[in-house]
């Protein structure tokens, strides 16, 4: 039986989960989006990574419970709603809806629960009260409540901050939801209302105010999954301080391990820099659809192209200088499109298989070997690029055969279907239009038929068929379908 192995940031070791039959319910928590804008495709790298983890666990037979929060109250959401003069809930609902639509376009399975932070303020308040009772949180003069990091000896264990760094920073405090590695400080659990918050506040036993961002994940994870979860995932930029703070809040309150395994995805880069809102070097999924005719499947494939723990560079070609500079080609997307064309063509050929020779035992043994290699690559710390490598090896080997019968084609298709439970890239978009190249081939075929250039028409029809597109001419009308 295959078990999943993950590299645990906490121990810096690759660790095996118990076998599915012994693991009980696997509890997974992933840090969700802040719903104040369209998320960019760097963020989508994180969500696609969570999805691969989610799918791999279920595919290997684990009983999974997955929770992901929606951050619908923090400095940024409040600022945005005030700037537009729209109530916070209305403002965040708009971006939640966009997020869920794009989630589906990228073939991401929904977590079992996606709680909003604002629906769990009571749980957050009671967590803060527990921390005050235990002496690891204190009220400041303005009524905000801070976590005292010197009161939690394990602070820094995830990100490997040493005592020296802690000492240099300790004593200060920070109210902002986001702060950087230079500031190892007490952080806000509860923020007393201030004018910038407008009408966003809760009247609670802690006073009038709102929860801090870090608190939300601790409270939601424990409320939905219990004191100890199995796996916590997030982007590498969240390791410090966000995840460090989550551990401190949860473990100081319960005295129990908060999460056994922590996994972090590396960044999507562009031009050697992290893609981020603040650097203004980002693209949203919708921009890629508009600018490059991208599909969710292509973006997903492009994001799967590197191991989650390695940086991935989005290749873009720009023209113009300064203000005029604009993207003219998304090379990573073109590469993804090309790879998917090959896979579509391969699948279409398998589906068309009719009478043919039985390729024999050696070919079957090779098919099983490649299938096993794909399965173990995925189980080995979600090595999707290695699995894709084996998939293309399979394409090459099957194409080398001097034909095959329907039975063998069915066996190959079953292997594809199995690995696609995790990859989710093989099924063509149901309503996908033709891309620019395909459109050109199709128009060429129509024109060649009109010119009665049958040889050219046949050659173009074959090229389209290789890409998984069938063409028909009936009653003077030319149409195409995905095979
Ligand atoms: P946020 O909405 O900013 O909290 O981000 C949502 C998720 O996206 C978090 O897990 C971040 O760590 C992750 N993330 C942000 N930027 C990138 C990037 N450029 N590449 C990969 N993941 C990212
Ligand atoms: Zn979080």
Residue 306 lies in a domain: no
Residue 376 lies in a domain: yes
Cβ neighbours of 135 (radius 10 Å)? 10
Specify whether 98 is located in the same domain as 121. Answer: yes
Distance CA 349, CA 93 (A): 44
The two three-digit tokens of residue 137, written as one number: 């949180």
Element containing residue 139 per DSSP (H, E): strand 137-139
Which among 292, 293, 262, 288 has a CA at the least distance from the CA of 275? 288
Specify whether 175 is located in the same domain as 205. Answer: yes
Specify whether 397 is located in the same domain as 444. Answer: no
**Ligand closest to the CA atom of residue 234:** 1
CATH number for the domain that contains residue 346: 1.20.120
Residue 69 lies in a domain: yes
Q: Identify the domain boundary among 401, 423, 445.
A: 423
CA of 452 relative to ligand 1 center, distance in Å: 55
What does the pLDDT read at residue 428? Answer: 87
Which among 158, 308, 315, 184 has a CA at the least distance from the CA of 238? 158
Q: Whose CA is nearest to atom 8 of ligand 1?
A: 43
Q: Identify the domain boundary among 423, 451, 470.
A: 423
Counting ligand 1 atoms within 8 A of each CB, the residue from 38, 177, 235 with the most, and so the one to mutate, is 235
CA of 98 relative to ligand 2 center, distance in Å: 20
Distance CA 20, CA 29 (A): 18
**Ligand closest to the CA atom of residue 38:** 1
What long-range pairs does 317-326 form, CB within 8 A, spacing at least 24?
A: none
Specify whether 140 is located in the same domain as 234. Answer: yes
Distance CA 77, CA 414 (A): 46
Distance CA 440, CA 449 (A): 14
Which residues contact ligand 1 via a Cβ below 6 A?
Answer: 31, 33-34, 39, 42-43, 45-46, 234-235, 237-238, 265, 267-268, 274-276
What does the pLDDT read at residue 96? Answer: 98
Specify whether 43 is located in the same domain as 100. Answer: yes
Distance CA 154, CA 251 (A): 9
Per the structure, the complete domain to which residue 246 belongs is given by: 21-265
**Ligand closest to the CA atom of residue 239:** 1
Ligand 1 atom nearest the C-alpha of 274 is 19
Q: Identify the domain boundary among 230, 265, 300.
A: 265
Residue 7 lies in a domain: no
Cis peptide preceding 319, ω within 30 of 0: no
Distance CA 337, CA 344 (A): 10
Name the region of 162 (left: φ>0; alpha: ψ -120 to 50; beta: rest): beta
CA of 235 relative to ligand 2 center, distance in Å: 10
Specify whether 112 is located in the same domain as 242. Answer: yes
The pair phi, psi for residue 452, each rounded to 5°, is: 55, 30
Specify whether 199 is located in the same domain as 109. Answer: yes
Q: Whose CA is nearest to atom 15 of ligand 1?
A: 43
Specify whether 60 is located in the same domain as 172. Answer: yes
Specify whether 256 is located in the same domain as 401. Answer: no
Residues of the chain with pLDDT under 70: 1, 162-183, 431-432
CA of 155 relative to ligand 1 center, distance in Å: 23
Neighbouring-strand partners of residue 139? 145
Residue 107 lies in a domain: yes
If DSSP states are collapsed to H, E and C, what string results for 308-338? Answer: CCCCEEECCEEECCHHHCEEEECHHHHHHHH
pLDDT single digits (tens) 26-64: 999 999 999 999 999 999 999 999 999 999 999 999 999
Name the region of 271 (left: φ>0; alpha: ψ -120 to 50; beta: rest): left
CB 242 within 8 A of CB 217: yes
Ligand 1 atom nearest the C-alpha of 266 is 21
The two three-digit tokens of residue 435, written as one number: 């891309």
Q: Whose CA is nearest to atom 17 of ligand 1?
A: 42
CATH number for the domain that contains residue 139: 3.40.50.620
Ligand 1 atom nearest the C-alpha of 282 is 19
Distance CA 193, CA 213 (A): 15
> Strand ranges (DSSP E) for 291-420?
312-314, 317-319, 326-329
Distance CA 463, CA 440 (A): 11
What does the pLDDT read at residue 164? Answer: 47
Residue 11 lies in a domain: no
Specify whether 209 is located in the same domain as 345. Answer: no
The two three-digit tokens of residue 198, written as one number: 């407008």
Which among 123, 136, 252, 139 has a CA at the least distance from the CA of 190? 139
Distance CA 128, CA 369 (A): 54
The CA-CA-CA angle for residues 222, 33, 197, to 5°, reads 90
Counting ligand 1 atoms within 8 A of each CB, the residue from 159, 237, 282 with the most, and so the one to mutate, is 237
What does the pLDDT read at residue 181? Answer: 46
Specify whether 33 is located in the same domain as 105. Answer: yes
**Ligand closest to the CA atom of residue 212:** 2
Q: Whose CA is nearest to atom 1 of ligand 1?
A: 33
Specify whether 126 is located in the same domain as 177. Answer: yes
DSSP 284: B
What does the pLDDT read at residue 8? Answer: 98
What does the pLDDT read at residue 115? Answer: 98
Total domain count, the chain? 3
Residue 96 lies in a domain: yes
Residue 412 lies in a domain: yes
CA of 70 relative to ligand 2 center, distance in Å: 9
């Amino acid at each position: 039986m295959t078990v999943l192995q993950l590299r645990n940031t906490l121990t810096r070791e690759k660790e095996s989960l118990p076998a599915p039959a012994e693991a009980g319910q696997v509890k997974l928590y992933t840090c969700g989006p802040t719903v104040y804008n369209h998320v960019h495709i760097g963020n989508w790298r994180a969500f696609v990574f969570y999805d691969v983890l989610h799918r791999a666990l279920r595919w290997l037979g684990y009983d999974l419970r997955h929770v992901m929060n929606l951050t619908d109250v923090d400095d940024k959401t409040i600022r945005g709603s005030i700037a537009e003069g729209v109530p916070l809930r209305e403002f965040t609902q708009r971006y939640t809806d966009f997020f869920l639509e794009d989630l589906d376009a990228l073939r991401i399975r929904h977590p079992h629960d996606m709680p909003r932070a604002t629906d769990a303020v009571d749980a957050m308040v009671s967590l803060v009260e527990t921390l005050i009772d235990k002496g690891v949180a204190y009220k400041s003069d303005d009524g905000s409540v801070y976590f005292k990091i010197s009161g939690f000896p394990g602070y820094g264990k995830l990100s490997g901050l040493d005592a020296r760094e802690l000492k240099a920073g300790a004593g200060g405090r920070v109210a902002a939801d986001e702060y950087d590695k230079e500031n190892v400080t007490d952080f806000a659990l509860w923020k007393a209302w201030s004018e910038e918050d407008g009408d966003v506040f809760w009247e609670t036993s802690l006073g009038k105010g709102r929860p801090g961002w870090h608190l939300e994940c601790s409270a939601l994870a424990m409320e939905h999954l219990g004191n100890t979860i199995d796996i916590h995932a997030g982007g590498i930029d969240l390791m410090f301080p966000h995840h460090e703070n989550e551990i401190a809040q949860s473990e100081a309150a319960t005295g129990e391990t908060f999460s056994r395994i922590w996994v972090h995805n590396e960044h999507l880069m562009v031009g050697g820099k992290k893609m981020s809102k603040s650097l203004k070097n980002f693209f949203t999924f919708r921009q890629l659809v508009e600018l490059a005719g991208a599909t969710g499947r292509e973006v997903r494939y492009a994001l799967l192209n590197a191991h989650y723990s390695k940086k991935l560079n989005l290749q873009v070609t720009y023209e113009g200088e300064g203000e005029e500079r604009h993207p003219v080609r998304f090379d990573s997307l073109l590469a993804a499109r090309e790879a998917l064309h090959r896979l579509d063509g391969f699948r279409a050929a398998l589906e068309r298989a009719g009478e043919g020779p039985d390729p024999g035992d050696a070919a079957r043994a090779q098919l099983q070997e490649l299938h096993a290699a794909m399965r173990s690559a995925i189980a080995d710390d979600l090595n999707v690029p290695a699995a894709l490598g084996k998939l293309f090896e399979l394409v090459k080997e099957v194409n080398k055969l001097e034909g095959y019968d329907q039975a063998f084609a069915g066996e190959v298709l079953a292997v594809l279907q199995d690995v696609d439970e995790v990859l989710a890239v093989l099924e063509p978009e149901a309503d996908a239009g033709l891309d620019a190249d395909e459109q050109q081939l199709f128009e060429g075929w129509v024109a060649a038929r009109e010119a009665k250039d049958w040889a050219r028409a046949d050659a173009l029809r074959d090229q389209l068929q290789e890409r998984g597109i069938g063409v028909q001419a009936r009653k003077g009308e030319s149409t195409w379908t995905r095979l």
